[in-house]
Amino acid sequence: TQLLEQSPQFLSIQEGENLTVYCNSSSVFSSLQWYRQEPGEGPVLLVTVVTGGEVKKLKRLTFQFGDARKDSSLHITAAQPGDTGLYLCAGSVPPSYGKLTFGQGTILTVHP
Protein backbone atom coordinates (compact mmCIF):
# COMPACT_ATOMS: atom_id res chain seq x y z
CA THR A 1 0.00 0.00 0.00
CA GLN A 2 1.39 3.35 -1.06
CA LEU A 3 1.47 6.02 1.60
CA LEU A 4 1.15 8.61 -1.15
CA GLU A 5 -1.26 7.82 -3.98
CA GLN A 6 -0.77 9.77 -7.18
CA SER A 7 -3.33 9.99 -9.95
CA PRO A 8 -3.51 9.65 -12.79
CA GLN A 9 -0.53 7.39 -13.46
CA PHE A 10 -0.48 8.32 -17.15
CA LEU A 11 -1.66 11.48 -18.89
CA SER A 12 -1.46 12.10 -22.63
CA ILE A 13 -2.75 15.45 -23.80
CA GLN A 14 -2.45 17.98 -26.62
CA GLU A 15 -0.47 21.18 -26.38
CA GLY A 16 -2.57 23.97 -24.90
CA GLU A 17 -4.74 21.77 -22.68
CA ASN A 18 -4.93 22.11 -18.92
CA LEU A 19 -4.34 19.24 -16.51
CA THR A 20 -4.28 18.40 -12.82
CA VAL A 21 -2.25 15.75 -11.00
CA TYR A 22 -3.31 14.64 -7.54
CA CYS A 23 -1.31 13.36 -4.59
CA ASN A 24 -3.42 11.89 -1.77
CA SER A 25 -2.80 10.23 1.56
CA SER A 26 -4.61 9.27 4.74
CA SER A 27 -1.62 10.57 6.73
CA VAL A 28 -0.75 14.12 7.67
CA PHE A 29 2.48 15.36 6.14
CA SER A 30 4.74 18.03 7.59
CA SER A 31 5.34 19.27 4.05
CA LEU A 32 5.11 18.00 0.49
CA GLN A 33 7.56 18.37 -2.33
CA TRP A 34 6.92 18.09 -6.05
CA TYR A 35 9.63 16.89 -8.43
CA ARG A 36 9.93 16.50 -12.17
CA GLN A 37 12.12 13.81 -13.71
CA GLU A 38 13.28 13.47 -17.29
CA PRO A 39 14.59 10.22 -18.83
CA GLY A 40 18.17 9.43 -17.83
CA GLU A 41 18.25 12.00 -15.05
CA GLY A 42 17.44 12.28 -11.38
CA PRO A 43 14.34 14.14 -10.15
CA VAL A 44 14.57 17.92 -9.84
CA LEU A 45 12.61 19.84 -7.22
CA LEU A 46 9.79 22.07 -8.48
CA VAL A 47 8.30 23.31 -5.22
CA THR A 48 7.79 22.60 -1.52
CA VAL A 49 4.45 23.32 0.17
CA VAL A 50 4.42 23.58 3.93
CA THR A 51 1.28 25.26 5.24
CA GLY A 52 -2.20 23.74 4.98
CA GLY A 53 -4.16 25.55 2.25
CA GLU A 54 -0.99 26.99 0.72
CA VAL A 55 -0.98 27.78 -2.99
CA LYS A 56 2.26 28.33 -4.90
CA LYS A 57 2.65 29.33 -8.52
CA LEU A 58 5.59 28.61 -10.79
CA LYS A 59 4.82 30.21 -14.16
CA ARG A 60 2.07 27.97 -15.61
CA LEU A 61 2.23 25.48 -12.72
CA THR A 62 0.04 25.91 -9.64
CA PHE A 63 0.61 23.79 -6.55
CA GLN A 64 -1.85 23.45 -3.70
CA PHE A 65 -1.51 21.83 -0.28
CA GLY A 66 -4.75 20.60 1.27
CA ASP A 67 -6.07 22.29 4.41
CA ALA A 68 -5.52 19.10 6.42
CA ARG A 69 -2.04 18.59 4.90
CA LYS A 70 -3.03 15.13 3.61
CA ASP A 71 -3.20 15.91 -0.09
CA SER A 72 -1.76 18.13 -2.77
CA SER A 73 -2.37 18.94 -6.40
CA LEU A 74 -0.38 20.21 -9.35
CA HIS A 75 -2.26 22.10 -12.04
CA ILE A 76 -0.65 22.97 -15.36
CA THR A 77 -2.25 25.61 -17.56
CA ALA A 78 -1.80 25.53 -21.33
CA ALA A 79 0.58 22.57 -21.30
CA GLN A 80 3.55 22.60 -23.65
CA PRO A 81 5.66 19.74 -25.05
CA GLY A 82 8.46 20.87 -22.74
CA ASP A 83 6.27 19.91 -19.75
CA THR A 84 6.57 16.24 -20.74
CA GLY A 85 8.10 14.16 -17.96
CA LEU A 86 7.50 12.18 -14.80
CA TYR A 87 5.98 14.18 -11.94
CA LEU A 88 6.49 12.95 -8.40
CA CYS A 89 5.19 14.09 -5.04
CA ALA A 90 7.10 13.30 -1.85
CA GLY A 91 6.83 13.95 1.86
CA SER A 92 7.59 12.75 5.35
CA VAL A 93 5.13 11.90 8.12
CA PRO A 94 5.92 13.12 11.64
CA PRO A 95 7.70 11.98 13.71
CA SER A 96 9.66 10.04 11.04
CA TYR A 97 11.13 13.21 9.56
CA GLY A 98 14.07 11.38 7.99
CA LYS A 99 11.95 8.92 6.05
CA LEU A 100 10.93 10.40 2.72
CA THR A 101 8.07 8.74 0.82
CA PHE A 102 7.38 9.25 -2.88
CA GLY A 103 4.19 8.71 -4.83
CA GLN A 104 4.21 6.32 -7.81
CA GLY A 105 4.52 9.22 -10.20
CA THR A 106 2.50 10.61 -13.12
CA ILE A 107 3.92 10.23 -16.61
CA LEU A 108 2.81 13.28 -18.60
CA THR A 109 3.11 13.42 -22.37
CA VAL A 110 2.19 16.65 -24.15
CA HIS A 111 1.81 16.28 -27.90
CA PRO A 112 2.55 19.23 -30.22
Partner 1 sequence: EAQVTQNPRYLITVTGKKLTVTCSQNMNHEYMSWYRQDPGLGLRQIYYSMNVEVTDKGDVPEGYKVSRKEKRNFPLILESPSPNQTSLYFCASSYGAQQPQHFGDGTRLSIL
The residue ranges that bind partner 1 (CB under 8 A) are 2, 6, 9, 30-31, 33, 35, 40-45, 48, 88, 90, 92, 97-105
- CA 109/CA 98 separation, integer angstroms: 32
Q: Measured from the CB atom, is 41 or 59 closer to partner 1?
A: 41
φ/ψ bin of 26: left (φ > 0), alpha (ψ from -120 to 50), beta (otherwise)? alpha
Report in angstroms how near the CB of residue 51 gets to partner 1 at its nearest: 13
Report in angstroms how near the CB of residue 15 gets to partner 1 at its nearest: 26
Report in angstroms how near the CB of residue 13 gets to partner 1 at its nearest: 20
Strand pairing of 106-111 and 10-14? parallel
Q: Measured from the CB atom, is 66 or 105 closer to partner 1?
A: 105
Identify the sign of the CA torsion 75, 79, 82, 86. positive
